[in-house]
Structure 1
Amino acid sequence: MMTVMVLCYTGPVTNQTPPPVLRFAPSPNGHLHLGHAYSALLNASIARELGGRLLLRIEDIDITRCRPDYERALREDLAWLGLEWDEPVRRQSEHFGDYARALDRLQALGVLYRSYASRKEIAMAIAGQEWQGDPDGAPLYPREALRAIDDPAQHGPQAAFTLRLDMERALELAPPLGWKEYRPDFTAAETVPAEPEKWGDVVLSRKEFPTSYHLAVVVDDALQGVSHVVRGRDMLHATAIHRLIQHLLALPEPAYHHHPLILGQEGEKLSKSIASKSLRALKAEGATPGDIRKLVGM
């Protein structure tokens, strides 16, 4: 008998509509920069205007790069900006069981499969071909070319594998999907059609990380009762994957707003990986919280 997992917000039952819930969810793998400051301040501002709550979530599924000292630093930086959030703070690394149960549910639906191919084997399978990429530019997984490698009969029980979403099967179980993309004041929205097929068979779990961002963010938002997702436009297209997973797991659909990004002097996206100047560095140079607000247009 199949056990159906139910993910839901389990707050008090009342006749009143619960207040909106927003979240700021950084990864503690480096120091926060102006882009983070803008997103955090915008979430706090919208939560205040809507009479809602702001959560802080630590997205630390990459336990090899995320560090406690970075988490302490980001808390200090957010407090310096004048932000407050509800406690307790959810750390993804403490909730791998929640993601495992979601994977079990997807497995029961028949929308997951094991991928044993290495990055080198994937690259060899598409070498010399004009191969379609996903919205982030990564090549779609060449499942047909790797069927022999991905045959579980060719591998022992200890072989490392990645769990991928069988996009074709998943789409058979879902109606046409979309989401409401709201203005910053959440008074008006347009419907954006979701096109998850553009992402191909996305990774939902791998040996070194028992969940992916796509799965964890959907599960976390549901369990925390997040009603309004406010994040950067670099995540706009990924919402198609999130809407599909929400449908498969029978989870609620939040209201979305994808805000403009804060760019560097050369028009580049700010990033920890390219050592964009951190809030800590700006503070050390004498910047005040008011200066940071002006720098990000608030």
Structure 2
Amino acid sequence: MSDSRPVFRFAPSPNGLLHLGHARSALINLEMARRAGGRLLLRIEDIDATRCRPEYEAAIYSDLSWLGIAWEEPVRRQSEHMADYRAALEKLAALDVVYASFESRADIRRAVEEEAGWPRDPDGAPLFPFPRTAMSEEERARRMQAGEPYALRLDMAKAAALAGPLSWREIGWPEPIGETVAADPPAWGDVVIARKEVPTSYHLAVVVDDALQGVTHVVRGADLKAATSVHRVIQALLGLPAPLYTHHALLTDADGRKLSKSLGSQSLQDLRANGATPEEVRRLAGL
């Protein structure tokens, strides 16, 4: 008999220590799963081999257990499932919505600087400025064969046209007020979905993982809400179901910036070492 309970997941990257923002997201996932009588999964998003470390992964397990959060085993580690992402990438390639780009970050920066008012994506990064038609498919194949570094990008105009109008269902927190949000994939331009060395990116991996794990509720920070448009177009192209989404408010520092590993936000390990209790962390995390 199949388990029909709702499925939630907390999916951190082991590229640093967890901070209060992570605790907030994990605890909201736990609370929503309990309210819905659902299951909670833990996924380790470790496709970035240069930044992810075993000690950070071990710290994730320690911090979550200390907070009283339990999850189902086994834990899915993305680095162990590259074949799943490669298979999805091949399906997208068969639809002719994937192409290789060879431009460096410096090339992109120079092109953008030459065009005043160049459009930017919802995160503020400039849209990829080199159209697919600027290079022949034969030239791309030759350069790939020669072993040049490249990124694989989603031809967003073609992908959006194939997928048609898209939306997702947003469920509020703490009040479960639902709304339908119209997706806008073209706002992101031709996003990177894989690279020469790694057959995936965050956008592709998260969509594939959620589908394979049967995730029904994606609960994450509001900073990822706009990116759901990219995820919806990939889901549509791959014929995958769309989960329900909740994008909760973020914790910010004294300067109004979201808590971040890159900013050195105080870690849960530091709070623990300074005598904080799980109850105090819940309060500090806004719960």
TM interval, short-chain normalised: over 0.9
**Alignment-derived partner of residue 203 in structure 1:** 192
Of 126, 131, 143, which residue of structure 2 is paired with 1:155? 143
**Alignment-derived partner of residue 4 in structure 1:** none
Stretch deviating more after TM superposition (53-62 or 170-179): 170-179
Relative distance call for 1:108 and 1:213 in structure 2 (3 A) is same
Stretch deviating more after TM superposition (141-150 or 236-245): 141-150
Contiguous gaps of at least 5 residues in structure 2: none
Q: Which residue identity is paired with 2:130?
A: R
The question of whether the paired residues in 1 share the 8 Å contact of 2:221 and 2:247 is answered with yes
Partner deviation per Cα, 1:52-89 (whole Å, 9 max, x = no partner): 00000000000110001100011000000000000000
Shift, 1:169, TM fit: 0.9
1:173 match: secondary structure = helix
Relative distance call for 1:127 and 1:185 in structure 2 (3 A) is closer
**Alignment-derived partner of residue 231 in structure 2:** 242
The question of whether the paired residues in 1 share the 8 Å contact of 2:5 and 2:38 is answered with yes
Shift, 1:159, TM fit: 1.8
**Alignment-derived partner of residue 282 in structure 1:** 271
Equivalent-residue separation in structure 1 for 2:198 and 2:122 (angstroms):
22
Equivalent-residue separation in structure 1 for 2:132 and 2:47 (angstroms):
30
Shift, 1:227, TM fit: 0.1
Shift, 1:91, TM fit: 0.2
The question of whether the paired residues in 2 share the 8 Å contact of 1:21 and 1:47 is answered with yes
Q: Which residue identity is paired with 2:119?
A: Q
The question of whether the paired residues in 2 share the 8 Å contact of 1:262 and 1:296 is answered with yes
Relative distance call for 1:24 and 1:232 in structure 2 (3 A) is same
1:231 match: secondary structure = strand
Equivalent-residue separation in structure 2 for 1:117 and 1:146 (angstroms):
14
**Alignment-derived partner of residue 201 in structure 2:** 212
Of 32, 36, 60, which residue of structure 2 is paired with 1:50? 36
**Alignment-derived partner of residue 253 in structure 2:** 264
**Alignment-derived partner of residue 180 in structure 2:** 191
Shift, 1:207, TM fit: 2.4
Shift, 1:29, TM fit: 0.5
Instruction: Tell me whether 1:106 sits opposite 2:92 in the alignment.
Output: yes
**Alignment-derived partner of residue 27 in structure 1:** 13
Q: Which residue identity is paired with 1:91?
A: R
What TM-score, normalized to structure 2? 0.95
The question of whether the paired residues in 2 share the 8 Å contact of 1:117 and 1:146 is answered with no
Stretch deviating more after TM superposition (68-77 or 135-144): 135-144
1:272 match: secondary structure = coil
The question of whether the paired residues in 2 share the 8 Å contact of 1:214 and 1:241 is answered with yes
1:234 match: secondary structure = helix
Stretch deviating more after TM superposition (174-183 or 124-133): 124-133
Equivalent-residue separation in structure 1 for 2:253 and 2:194 (angstroms):
33
Instruction: Tell me whether 1:132 sits opposite 2:132 in the alignment.
Output: no
**Alignment-derived partner of residue 8 in structure 1:** none
What percentage of aligned pairs have identical amino acids?
A: 57
Shift, 1:154, TM fit: 5.6
Stretch deviating more after TM superposition (40-49 or 167-176): 167-176
What TM-score, normalized to structure 1? 0.91
